[in-house]
């Protein structure tokens, strides 16, 4: 059986596997990553009328394609393309986040031609490349022409609504990215019209906290209202939907009443669950999902009493926008007695806090910056600092009266949407993309693959070997069972700890053959890492080698010494140095390949 057929049998998906190296290949695979090296899911990969979508591991396979340009598109990221001439089996691009530099437009601005044109003019004269348009604001008003029935039912319609689809086309014609902002759970109109959707006090009256009325984040109807507005906005052509006030109210939760649980874990689960549902709704429609979060969330590990936990959010949505306004930080933050007087360092430190915690995330960080109470120089220094971190930004002014002299022009900024060139590789002789032709153990690893002893380390793809990864006892059992052609013939379940592993049948097979006695009574320890001395005992038993009298290694003693000496006498090991075996060293997969090749190759 060929190595590719073996992997296909293992995965039951032959169509997932590359056809092999060589010019004229009609299929190509790869993994799409972001600039942090994180695999990107949901990337649409297209070439010549053929398309597919990357999975959670960032992998894709294009079949029945011809040489040409392969395109990669994902919401929130800048589209990219790479040329493929048919000779490479692997095409691995890196995608850069779309650098969005936006202005907040209160819902009244698009309601008049002059108000909207003023924003377009600012964008044309500066580095601004996006408009963030309010469609539902803090007062509960919905500013655009909408068919969402709840708007009329609760009386939330603005008296002079604008045409969101038309305004979006205007912005797109000007080359601008369009984000809509939905104030989600703060809503005095809907809360009073539908008190059954609202947060209550312990006495049963509507909660009014710091002058704010709140819809209950745990109430499905309250959630549905925001989701319907988001779906409609996306259908009108916008590029991204940002949910603001997507949180629980601040304050003493013991004085508040919600339909669902409101402890810390439940708060976090509620907010993350809502945003996950939003993304599942919007991503297929082509819109990125964003959330506006408190600035202090970048600096604390928990959900802050409001349901916003940074890592949880970063694993759920496309864009996180913390409000890192220096005026919102109290004395002592980042070492400043008056943080508001230090806009540059504050936004730099807060942004870096978030970036440090998002290293394994697909999400994009795009902070809100302060454009109120500040001079042009103070606005500009915030922009310069986040630009130096490679980030986009959005300027907040509640009335959309911006400090235009403080907004740099395009040539003054450096953050780029460009990504490094895609990686193009032929399939190496080993059969694995991570074992190059000049690898020390290429021949041994290729033999394991050709004999179907290894199926790789990344099922169902089976095209990575992970040569430096440590080998577990469960994996060792699988390799030995395949090398020896063993299969379990008895129905005895010898070990209580292998039922949840994919290697249970192989473990039983080598136990039945006397190759292992386990690690303890009725235990095999399948997840425990194999050491070099243990490997020697496995192979010595598998080959029924006689113990050797000679002891060529100075560092070998104890229970595994006879097996190590036997392997040396049989030429299966030369040790790790001229007179040393390194018995307690962790066994890497590449070294296991060398052992097995010497032991079992004809």
Give the model's pLDDT for residue 23.
43
What angle, 0 to 180 degrees and rounded to 10, lies between the N-to-C axes of helices 561-569 and 532-543?
70
Residue 11 has pLDDT above 70, yes or no: no
Average pLDDT, the chain: 93
For residue 250, give the nearest of 204, 196, 205, 211 by alpha carbon: 211
SS3 track for 56-100: CCCEEEECCCCCEEEEEECCCECCEEEEECCCCCEEECEECECCC
Give the model's pLDDT for residue 489.
86
Q: How many residues appear in the chain?
A: 602
3-class state of residue 296 by DSSP? helix
Residue at token pair 């377009």: 120
In which band, very low, low, confident or very high, does the pLDDT at 3 lie, cut at 50, 70 and 90? very low
**Cα separation, 217 vs 199, whole angstroms:** 8
In which band, very low, low, confident or very high, does the pLDDT at 602 lie, cut at 50, 70 and 90? low
Looking at the chain, the whole-number percentage of residues with pLDDT higher than 70 is 96
Cα-to-chain-centroid distance, residue 108: 36
Note whether 275 and 291 are within 8 A (CB): yes
List the Cα angle 60/64/70 in 5-degree steps: 55
**Cα separation, 214 vs 138, whole angstroms:** 10
**Cα separation, 272 vs 262, whole angstroms:** 14
What contacts 268, CB < 8 A, 6 or more positions away? 303, 307, 308, 309, 312
Give the model's pLDDT for residue 25.
56
Residue 137 has pLDDT above 90, yes or no: yes
Looking at the chain, the whole-number percentage of residues with pLDDT higher than 90 is 92
Note whether 316 and 282 are within 8 A (CB): no
The total of other beta-carbon atoms located within 10 Å of residue 560's CB is 21
Burial track 34-70 (b if 16+ CB lie within 10 A, e otherwise): beeebbbbbbbbbbeeeeeebeeebbbbbeebebeeb
- Listing DSSP states for 7-61 in one string gives HHHHHT-GGGS---SSTT-S-EEEE-EETTS-B-SS-EEEETTEEEE--TTSEEE
For residue 134, give the nearest of 114, 115, 121 by alpha carbon: 115
Residue at token pair 């312990």: 202
Strands 142-144 and 101-105, by their bridges, are: unpaired
Residue 9 has pLDDT above 60, yes or no: no
Tokens (6 digits) for 373: 């109470």
In which band, very low, low, confident or very high, does the pLDDT at 30 lie, cut at 50, 70 and 90? very high
Cα-to-chain-centroid distance, residue 293: 19
- Let me know if 389 is exposed, middle or buried by CB neighbors in 10 A (0-12, 13-18, 19+): middle
| pLDDT tens-digit map of 472-489 | 999 999 999 999 999 988
Note whether 202 and 257 are within 8 A (CB): yes
| pLDDT tens-digit map of 348-385 | 999 999 999 999 999 999 999 999 999 999 999 999 99
Residue 21 has pLDDT above 60, yes or no: no
Give the model's pLDDT for residue 210.
83
Mean pLDDT, rounded, for 228-239 = 98
**Cα separation, 27 vs 66, whole angstroms:** 8
| pLDDT tens-digit map of 292-323 | 999 999 999 999 999 999 999 999 999 999 99
Q: pTM for this structure?
A: 0.88
The total of other beta-carbon atoms located within 10 Å of residue 241's CB is 30
Mean pLDDT, rounded, for 214-235 = 98
What contacts 324, CB < 8 A, 6 or more positions away? 295, 298, 346, 347, 350, 351, 367, 368, 369
Backbone dihedral angles phi then psi of residue 253, each to the nearest 5 degrees: -70, -20
The total of other beta-carbon atoms located within 10 Å of residue 169's CB is 14
Residue 20 has pLDDT above 70, yes or no: no
List the Cα angle 465/471/477 in 5-degree steps: 100
Q: What is the distance between the terminal CA atoms of the chain, rounded to a whole angstrom?
A: 17
| pLDDT tens-digit map of 317-338 | 999 999 999 999 999 999 999 9
| pLDDT tens-digit map of 187-224 | 999 999 999 999 999 999 999 988 899 999 999 999 99
Mean pLDDT, rounded, for 74-97 = 96
| pLDDT tens-digit map of 504-562 | 999 999 999 999 989 999 999 999 999 999 999 999 999 999 887 788 999 999 999 99
């Amino acid at each position: 059986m060929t190595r590719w057929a073996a992997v296909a049998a293992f995965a039951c998906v032959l169509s997932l596997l590359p056809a092999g190296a060589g010019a004229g290949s009609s299929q190509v695979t790869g993994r799409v990553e972001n600039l942090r090296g994180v695999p990107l899911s949901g990337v649409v990969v297209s070439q010549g009328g053929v398309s597919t979508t990357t999975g959670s591991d960032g992998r894709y396979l294009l079949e029945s394609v011809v040489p040409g340009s392969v395109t990669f598109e994902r919401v929130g990221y800048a589209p990219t393309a790479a040329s493929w001439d048919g000779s490479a089996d692997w095409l691995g691009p890196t995608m850069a986040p779309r650098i969005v530099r936006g202005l907040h437009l209160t819902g009244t601005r698009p309601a008049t031609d002059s108000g909207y044109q003023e924003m377009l003019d600012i964008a044309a004269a500066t580095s601004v490349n996006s408009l963030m348009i309010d469609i539902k604001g803090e007062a509960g008003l919905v500013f655009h022409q909408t068919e969402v029935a709840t708007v009329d039912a609760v009386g939330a319609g603005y008296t002079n609504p604008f045409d969101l689809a038309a305004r979006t086309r205007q912005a797109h014609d000007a080359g601008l990215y369009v984000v809509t902002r939905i104030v989600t759970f703060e809503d005095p109109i809907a809360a009073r019209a539908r008190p059954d959707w609202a947060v209550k006090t312990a006495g049963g009256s509507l909660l009014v906290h710091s002058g704010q009325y709140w819809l209950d984040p745990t109430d499905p109807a309250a959630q549905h209202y925001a989701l319907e507005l988001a779906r409609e906005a996306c259908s009108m052509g916008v590029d991204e939907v940002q949910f603001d006030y997507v949180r629980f109210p601040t304050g003493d939760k013991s004085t508040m009443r919600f339909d669902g649980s409101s402890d810390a874990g439940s708060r976090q689960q509620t907010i993350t669950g809502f945003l996950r549902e939003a993304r599942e709704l919007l991503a297929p429609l082509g819109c990125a999902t964003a959330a506006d979060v408190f600035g202090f969330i970048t600096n604390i590990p928990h959900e802050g009493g409001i349901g916003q936990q940074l890592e949880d959010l970063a694993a759920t949505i496309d864009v996180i926008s913390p409000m890192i306004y220096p005026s919102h930080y109290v004395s002592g933050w980042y070492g400043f007695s008056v943080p508001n007087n230090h806009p540059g360092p504050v936004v730099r430190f807060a942004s870096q806090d978030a970036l440090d915690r998002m290293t394994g995330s697909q999400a994009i960080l795009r902070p809100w910056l302060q454009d109120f109470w500040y001079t042009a120089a103070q606005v500009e220094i915030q922009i310069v600092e986040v630009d130096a971190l490679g980030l986009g930004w959005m300027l907040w002014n509640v009335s959309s009266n911006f400090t235009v002299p403080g907004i740099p022009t395009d040539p003054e900024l450096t953050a780029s949407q460009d990504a490094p060139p895609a990686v193009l590789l032929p399939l190496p002789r080993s059969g694995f993309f991570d074992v190059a032709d000049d690898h020390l153990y290429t021949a041994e690893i290729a033999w394991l693959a050709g004999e179907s002893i290894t199926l790789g380390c990344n099922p169902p793809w089976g095209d990575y070997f992970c040569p430096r990864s440590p080998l577990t006892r469960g994996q060792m059992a699988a390799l030995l069972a395949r090398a020896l052609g063993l299969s379990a013939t008895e129905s005895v379940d010898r070990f209580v700890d292998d039922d949840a592993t994919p290697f249970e049948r192989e473990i039983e097979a080598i136990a039945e053959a006397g190759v292992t006695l386990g690690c303890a009574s009725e235990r095999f320890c399948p997840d425990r890492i194999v050491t070099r001395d243990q490997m020697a005992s496995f192979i010595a038993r598998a080959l029924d080698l006689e113990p050797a009298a000679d002891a060529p290694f100075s560092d070998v003693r104890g229970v595994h010494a006879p097996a190590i000496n036997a392997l040396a006498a049989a030429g299966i090991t030369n040790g790790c140095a001229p007179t040393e075996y390194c018995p307690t060293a962790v066994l890497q997969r590449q070294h296991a390949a060398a052992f097995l090749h010497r032991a079992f190759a004809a």
